[in-house]
């Protein structure tokens, strides 16, 4: 089911292709302009941000907690995004001539500036966004018919995990932020930071999975049935979403992207 959903929800490769288009639209002209002026330091590919696996969110809820960690996967991506932003905003020492060239190239790039809405559409086509919203409503409705929210919450709170520090499940998101801040204050390497936070999240996710296990088969059946009906009800919109992603991939391929060469893994230390 997940593979079928990803054809219109968007695969990880689709998301990478969208990021390639957005990054090129923001920085490609500046890159070319500087190279033409004899300053090839900047490479627009270095501004491609990491993406999440579409499977993490295409189903969500009880099923989703078995596909990924509750917080650690997203946290790792956020640190990588911070690293890219730091790189982009921390240029090396340059001569006055190079700085003047950068100013001129930035001015040139602004002539073809794309709007925020246009950038968003490159990363998530409107047809896809609309369909995602409808599907998430469908999943929530199907799951709510099976999972007793109060029982699930009680199950988690009764685990009394030391990692919860005496807090209830209602405070989990705030607690996760608190743990991140404490670990970041230790000034570890990014890899060590993610690993340490992952240890905390592993215990939390494990408890969630234990509490979700009794509902798993019934929820899977309910969502499978809902998915079949969803495909019948939204066949036209699904085709539009699939076509939108195909267009994104074609445009990204013109810039050198492919599923095997996503560019998002470009080694920024090789720039310059």
**Calpha distance 164→176 (Å, rounded):** 9
Structure tokens at 85: 């932003």
Structure tokens at 101: 């060239």
The answer as to whether 181 is a domain residue is yes
What is the full per-residue pLDDT of the chain (272 aa) written as tens digits? 778 898 999 988 999 999 999 999 988 888 899 999 998 877 888 888 888 765 556 666 778 788 788 899 889 888 888 888 887 788 788 899 999 998 998 888 887 778 889 999 999 999 999 999 999 999 999 998 898 888 888 999 999 999 999 999 999 999 999 999 999 999 999 899 999 999 999 999 999 999 999 999 999 999 999 999 999 999 999 999 999 999 999 999 999 899 887 775 444 433 33
The answer as to whether 92 is a domain residue is yes
**Half-sphere exposure for 6 (CA within 13 Å, toward CB):** 14
- Phi-psi map region of 95: left, alpha, beta (phi>0 left; psi -120 to 50 alpha): beta
**Calpha distance 24→198 (Å, rounded):** 33
**Residue with tokens 């890899």, as numbered in its chain:** 191
What pLDDT score was predicted for residue 242? 97
Is the distance from CB of 262 to CB of 49 less than 8 angstroms?
no
The answer as to whether 22 is a domain residue is yes
What pLDDT score was predicted for residue 157? 92
Structure tokens at 164: 């919860």
The answer as to whether 20 is a domain residue is yes
Structural domain harbouring 121: 8-270
Is the distance from CB of 93 to CB of 246 less than 8 angstroms?
no
Helix 2-9, helix 126-144: angle, nearest 10? 150
The answer as to whether 3 is a domain residue is no
What is the number of residues in the chain? 272
Is the distance from CB of 9 to CB of 138 less than 8 angstroms?
no
What pLDDT score was predicted for residue 42? 77
Q: Which candidate, 151, 25, 47, 29, places its Cα nearest to that of 91? A: 47
The answer as to whether 254 is a domain residue is yes
Structure tokens at 159: 């685990």
Say how many domains are in the chain. 1
Q: Which helix (H) or strand (E) holds 177?
A: helix 172-184
First to last CA, the chain: 45
Is the distance from CB of 266 to CB of 45 less than 8 angstroms?
yes
**pTM, entire model:** 0.82
The answer as to whether 54 is a domain residue is yes
The answer as to whether 2 is a domain residue is no
């Amino acid at each position: 089911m997940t593979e079928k959903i990803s054809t219109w929800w968007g695969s990880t490769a689709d998301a990478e292709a969208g990021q390639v288009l957005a990054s090129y639209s923001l920085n490609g002209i500046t890159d070319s302009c500087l190279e033409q002026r004899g300053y090839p330091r900047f490479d627009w590919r270095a501004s491609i941000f990491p993406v999440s696996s579409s499977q993490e969110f295409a189903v969500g809820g009880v099923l989703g907690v078995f596909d990924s960690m509750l917080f650690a996967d997203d946290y790792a991506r956020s640190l990588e995004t911070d690293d890219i932003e730091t790189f982009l905003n921390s240029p090396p020492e340059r001569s006055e001539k190079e700085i003047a060239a950068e100013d001129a190239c930035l001015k040139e790039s602004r002539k073809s500036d794309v709007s925020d809405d246009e950038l968003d559409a490159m990363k998530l086509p409107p047809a896809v966004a609309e369909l995602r919203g409808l599907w998430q409503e469908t999943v929530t409705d199907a799951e709510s018919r099976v999972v007793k929210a109060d029982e699930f919450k009680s199950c988690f709170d009764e685990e009394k995990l030391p990692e919860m520090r005496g807090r209830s499940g209602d405070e989990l998101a705030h607690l996760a932020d608190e743990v991140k801040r404490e670990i970041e204050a230790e000034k570890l390497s990014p890899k060590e930071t993610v690993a340490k936070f992952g240890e905390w999240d592993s215990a939390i996710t494990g408890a969630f999975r234990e509490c979700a296990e009794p509902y798993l088969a019934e929820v899977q059946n309910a969502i499978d049935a809902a998915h079949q009906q969803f495909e019948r009800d939204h066949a036209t919109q699904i085709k539009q979403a699939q076509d939108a992603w195909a267009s994104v991939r074609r445009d990204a391929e013109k810039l050198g992207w492919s599923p095997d060469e996503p560019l998002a893994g470009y080694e920024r230390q090789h720039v310059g």
